[in-house]
Amino acid sequence: MPPKLCALCSKERAILRRPKTGQQICKDCFFYVFETEVHNTITEAKLFKPGDRVAIGASGGKDSTVLAYVMKTLNDRYKYGLELFLLSIDEGITGYRDDSLETVKRNQQQYNLPLKILSYHELYGWTMDRIVEKIGRKNNCTFCGVFRRQALDRGAASLNVDHIVTGHNADDIAETVLMNIMRGDIARLGRCTLICTQGEDTIRRSKPFKYAYEKEIVMYAYFKKLDYFSTECIYSPDAYRGHARMFLKDLEAARPSAIIDIIHSGEAFEVKEEVKQAAKAQRKTLFLSRPTALAKGILERCKRCGYISSNDLCKACVLLEGLERGMPNMSIKEKERSRLEVGYGPSDMRTIPKFELPPVLADAASPQPKGLREN
């Protein structure tokens, strides 16, 4: 039987099946479609303008390594006119981040991009190793997430960049849509599918891989022989996301378009007016520039570190105070409470009311103690 030809160019031998579409294609056509789809995502969302200084959040993992490579390729090919930087945060996780940062340092040489590394230790006086020593593994992802977000902003400010891009891919976004539905967190649903957000901290963040499948990113890295680090974080057993991930993988196996379909569903979700209002309160600062938000008094400066914040203390300092006072979980509870209060929709959406019998029925239903039974 003659070798199957590429479904796109009809010239070369098909050597792979695209996970996203099932098409059997050759290597060069795969590179071309993958890069072109990312280019289309970038141009359709008008993510950049010429002259933008853009930091690529570089963890050394597959997603951000492919992102750095593709951003550089597209910037050269389509003359975006961007100034690109690699920005890495060292969370202080021995045996994980120290190794992956070595990969980023090699990427810096391979792609010839300037690299900035900032550590939790220098910013907060704590490493994740020490935090986990203190609080255990249960809530450590909360600390890491809050600290990383702020660290990326601080790194971006020191590089004087306008924009941070991260390697979040279609699978990550579909998982988040599922998680928000499973938690009844409908007001966050709209936000989690946005390709570009501008947080309190107001440096634009975007996800050029919003529609890129994880399997295709791995395939791209493999065929391009990119140098990346492939170990999972040793402290991140995010069990709930794990369930969403497994569920998504099953759906993808049954129907590959499931990932994109879930993202589209998240984007198109019809939200009730009252939920929209709650989300609006939550998003009040999201689309304002930092000076506007400060001028309107919506944002202030953290009284402890001076970072932009909508409360007296920024989220990182709330967590740090808890750590320093030896009550790290209290600050997490506090944080969760305020998340519920500013909320995502009516509070009764999120609780299951306990059924209680009226007193008369309750008496009748309760079993008589042994020995007191009549008959």
Residue number with CB closer to ligand ATP (6 or 307): 307
Q: Are residues 268 and 177 in contact, defined by beta-carbon separation less than 8 angstroms?
A: no
Six-digit token string for 327: 């009550």
Does position 103 bind ligand ATP by CB under 6 A? no
With CB under 6 A as the rule, give the number of residues binding ligand ATP.
Answer: 16
Does position 256 bind ligand ATP by CB under 6 A? no
Residue number with CB closer to ligand ATP (58 or 131): 58
**What is the per-residue burial (b if ≥16 Cβ within 10 Å, else e) of 228-261?**
bbeeebebeeeeebeebbebbbebbeeebebbbe
Cα of 97 vs its chain's centroid, Å: 18
Q: Mask of contacts with ligand ATP, 172-191, x by CB under 6 A?
A: x-------------------
Residue number with CB closer to ligand ATP (61 or 190): 61
Binder of ligand ATP out of 30, 54, 167, 275 (CB under 6 A) = 167
Does position 150 bind ligand ATP by CB under 6 A? no
Does position 315 bind ligand ATP by CB under 6 A? no
Does position 140 bind ligand ATP by CB under 6 A? no
Q: Which residue is nearest to ligand ATP (CB)?
A: 61
**Shortest gap between Cβ of 75 and ligand ATP (angstroms)?**
17
Q: Mask of contacts with ligand ATP, 264-283, x by CB under 6 A?
A: --------------------
Does position 166 bind ligand ATP by CB under 6 A? yes
Q: Is 172 annotated among the ligand-binding residues?
A: yes
**Shortest gap between Cβ of 84 and ligand ATP (angstroms)?**
13
Q: Are residues 26 and 185 in contact, defined by beta-carbon separation less than 8 angstroms?
A: no
Does position 204 bind ligand ATP by CB under 6 A? no
Residue number with CB closer to ligand ATP (58 or 262): 58
The residues pairing with 87 across neighbouring beta strands, listed in sequence order, are 57, 116
Does position 208 bind ligand ATP by CB under 6 A? no
Among positions 50-69, residues that touch ligand ATP (CB under 6 A) are 57-59, 61-64
Q: Is 59 annotated among the ligand-binding residues?
A: yes
**Shortest gap between Cβ of 210 and ligand ATP (angstroms)?**
12
Binder of ligand ATP out of 47, 89, 113, 131 (CB under 6 A) = 89
Q: Is 58 annotated among the ligand-binding residues?
A: yes
Please enumerate in sequence order all residues whose Cβ is within 8 A of that of 114, keeping only pairs 6 or more positions apart, or say none: 85, 86, 108
Does position 88 bind ligand ATP by CB under 6 A? yes
**Shortest gap between Cβ of 152 and ligand ATP (angstroms)?**
6
Residue number with CB closer to ligand ATP (28 or 52): 52
Q: Which stretch binds ligand ATP (CB under 6 A): 38-46, 166-174, 317-325, 329-337?
A: 166-174
Interface residue list for ligand ATP (CB under 6 A): 57-59, 61-64, 87-89, 91, 148, 166-168, 172
Binding residues, by number, are 57-59, 63, 89, 167, 172
Binding residues for ATP, by number, are 57-59, 63, 89, 167, 172
